[in-house]
Amino acid sequence: MIEKHEIKSEIEVFSNKLDLGKYEQLLVEVATKATQNAYAPYSKFQVGSAILLENNEIITGSNQENAVFPLGLCAERVTLFTYGNMNIDTKVIAIAVAAHSKHNASVSPFPCGSCRQVILEFEKRQKRDINILIISSDNKIYKVKSVKDILPFAFEGDFLK
């Protein structure tokens, strides 16, 4: 007998950033602006991200490519690793991701698998979910309450014990 299981994720879709809270609106603006700092001469896919901390501080990052693929790094990991390196004693509430592409006018930059895994690790470290805001090129904003909503069957550090 074969068992079947259904996986469900809840994603909120906002058609206007004004429907978000004040700090989430700011996070969307800052992440969008951070795309300008991307170094993406190969893919022409510029991604910016921003994290909001409990103390309302915002940290940004952008993707950084390298001719020797895959030595570049996604915006989400640049941002989270910068935060980790700063040794700040406050938790991440949310991360926003924005992108634009010279090749594709329609972009919804959901984090790649590696970035999802890194976000999961930060959620585990701080024992708190991180909201994820995805800013699409058509100005819709997708919001998930935790990376677990978009990373079913995640590999967790507990597996290594």
Q: Which H or E run includes 117?
A: helix 113-126
pLDDT at 150: 93
Is residue 76 flagged as an active site residue?
Answer: yes
How confident is the model over 43-97, as pLDDT tens digits?
899 999 999 999 999 999 999 999 997 789 999 999 999 999 998 889 999 999 9
> 6, 29, 65, 76: which one is catalytic?
76
Q: What is the mean pLDDT of residues 106-135?
A: 94
DSSP sequence for 17-79: GGGS-HHHHHHHHHHHHHGGG-B-TTT-EEEEEEEEETTS-EEEEE-B--SSTT--B-HHHHH
DSSP sequence for 71-107: --B-HHHHHHHHHHHHT-SS-EEEEEEEEEESS-S--
- The percentage of the chain sitting over the pLDDT mark of 70, rounded to a whole number, equals 96
Q: Among residues 26, 8, 30, which one has the least CA distance to residue 17?
A: 26
d(CA 98, CA 115): 14
pLDDT at 117: 95
pLDDT at 105: 64
Q: Mean pLDDT of all residues in the chain?
A: 92
pLDDT at 153: 79
Is this structure's pTM higher than 0.95?
no
